[in-house]
Chain A
Amino acid sequence: MKRVYVNEKWCISCHLCEYNCAFANSGETSMVKALKGVTIRPRIRVEENDRVSFAVACRHCPDPICVKSCITGALSAKDGIISVDSWKCVGCYTCICACPYGAIQPDETRGVVQKCELCTRNSCGEPACVKGCPNGAIVFEEREKKQ
Chain B
Amino acid sequence: MINYLYPDYEIVRDPSKCIACRVCERQCANEAHSFDEEAGCMVADSSRCVNCHRCVSLCPTRALKIVKSDHTFKQNANWTGDRITEIYKQASTGGVLLSSMGNPNAFPIYFDKILINASQVTNPSIDPLREPMETKTFLGKKTGEIRRDEKGRILPYTEPQIELSVPIMFSAMSYGSISYNAHESLARAAQELGILYNTGEGGLHEDFRQYGANTIVQVASGRFGVYKDYLEAGAAIEIKMGQGAKPGIGGHLPGTKIVGDISKTRMIPEGSDAISPAPHHDIYSIEDLRQLVFSLKEASEYKKPVIVKIAAVHNVAAIASGVARSGADIIAIDGFRGGTGAAPTRIRDNVGIPIELALASVDSRLREEGIRDNVSIVVGGSIRSSADVVKAIALGADAVYIATAALLSLGCHLCRSCQSGKCNWGIATQRPELVKRLNPDIGSQRLVNLVTAWKHEIMEMMGGMGINSIEALKGNRLMLRGIGLNEKELEILGIKHAGE
Interface footprint category on B: 10 to 19
Q: How far is the CA of A50 from the CA of B287 in the complex (A)?
A: 55
Main secondary structure of the interface of A (DSSP, over half): loop
**Chain A 113-147 per-residue mask, 1 if CB under 8 angstroms from chain B, else 0:** 00000000000000000001011110000000000
Main secondary structure of the interface of B (DSSP, over half): loop
Q: Is the CB of B439 within 8 A of A20?
A: no
| With known contacts A13-B26, A15-B21, A31–B61 Cβ distance under 8 A | yes
| With known contacts A19-B60, A20-B60, A32-B61, A136–B439 Cβ distance under 8 A | yes
Residue of B nearest to A23 (CB): B60
**B480 vs chain A, min Cβ distance (A):** 42
Residue of A nearest to B27 (CB): A14
Q: Which of B21, B58, B437 has the most CB of A within 10 A?
A: B21
Q: How far is the CA of A133 from the CA of B19 in the complex (A)?
A: 18
Out of B21, B23, B442, name the residue touching A135 (CB < 8 Å): B442
Q: Is the CB of B21 within 8 A of A36?
A: no
User: Using Cβ atoms and an 8 Å threshold, which residues of chain B touch A137?
Assistant: 439
**B54 vs chain A, min Cβ distance (A):** 10
| With known contacts A31-B61, A32-B17, A32-B61, A14–B439 Cβ distance under 8 A | no
| With known contacts A16-B23, A19-B19, A32-B17, A10–B60 Cβ distance under 8 A | no
User: Using Cβ atoms and an 8 Å threshold, which residues of chain B touch A11?
Assistant: 436
Q: How far is the CA of A19 from the CA of B60 in the complex (A)?
A: 8
Q: How far is the CA of A74 from the CA of B26 in the complex (A)?
A: 38
Q: Is the CB of B19 within 8 A of A35?
A: yes
Q: Is the CB of A14 within 8 A of B436?
A: no
**Chain A 11-29 per-residue mask, 1 if CB under 8 angstroms from chain B, else 0:** 1111110011001000000
Q: Is the CB of A32 within 8 A of B19?
A: yes
Residue of A nearest to B63 (CB): A32
Q: Is the CB of A134 within 8 A of B58?
A: yes
Q: Is the CB of A14 within 8 A of B26?
A: yes
Interface residues of B in 436-472 (CB under 8 A from A): 436-437, 439, 441-442
Residue of A nearest to B23 (CB): A14
B122 interface residue per 8 A CB criterion: no
**B22 vs chain A, min Cβ distance (A):** 7
Q: How far is the CA of A36 from the CA of B19 in the complex (A)?
A: 5
Out of B18, B60, B436, name the residue touching A12 (CB < 8 Å): B436
A88 interface residue per 8 A CB criterion: no
B256 interface residue per 8 A CB criterion: no
Interface residues of B in 60-77 (CB under 8 A from A): 60-61, 63
B3 interface residue per 8 A CB criterion: no
Q: How far is the CA of A13 from the CA of B17 in the complex (A)?
A: 22
Out of A10, A20, A38, name the residue touching B436 (CB < 8 Å): A10
| With known contacts A12-B436, A31-B60, A31-B61, A136–B17 Cβ distance under 8 A | no
Q: How far is the CA of A38 from the CA of B18 in the complex (A)?
A: 12
Q: Is the CB of B441 within 8 A of A16?
A: no
Q: How far is the CA of A32 from the CA of B13 in the complex (A)?
A: 14
Interface residues of B in 1-40 (CB under 8 A from A): 16-19, 21-23, 26-27
**A12 vs chain B, min Cβ distance (A):** 5
Q: How far is the CA of A31 from the CA of B433 in the complex (A)?
A: 28
Between A and B, 18 residue pairs with Cβ closer than 8 Å are A10-B439, A12-B436, A13-B26, A14-B23, A15-B22, A15-B26, A16-B23, A16-B58, A19-B21, A20-B60, A31-B61, A35-B21, A36-B17, A36-B19, A135-B437, A135-B439, A135-B442, A137-B439
Interface residues of B, Cβ cutoff 8 Å to A:
16-19, 21-23, 26-27, 58, 60-61, 63, 433, 436-437, 439, 441-442
Additional A-B contacts beyond A9-B436, A32-B19 (5; CB < 8 A): A11-B436, A36-B19, A135-B436, A136-B439, A136-B442
Closest 10 CB pairs of A and B: A35-B19, A10-B439, A136-B439, A19-B21, A135-B439, A12-B437, A36-B19, A32-B61, A14-B23, A32-B17
Interface residues of A, Cβ cutoff 8 Å to B:
9-16, 19-20, 23, 31-32, 35-38, 132, 134-137
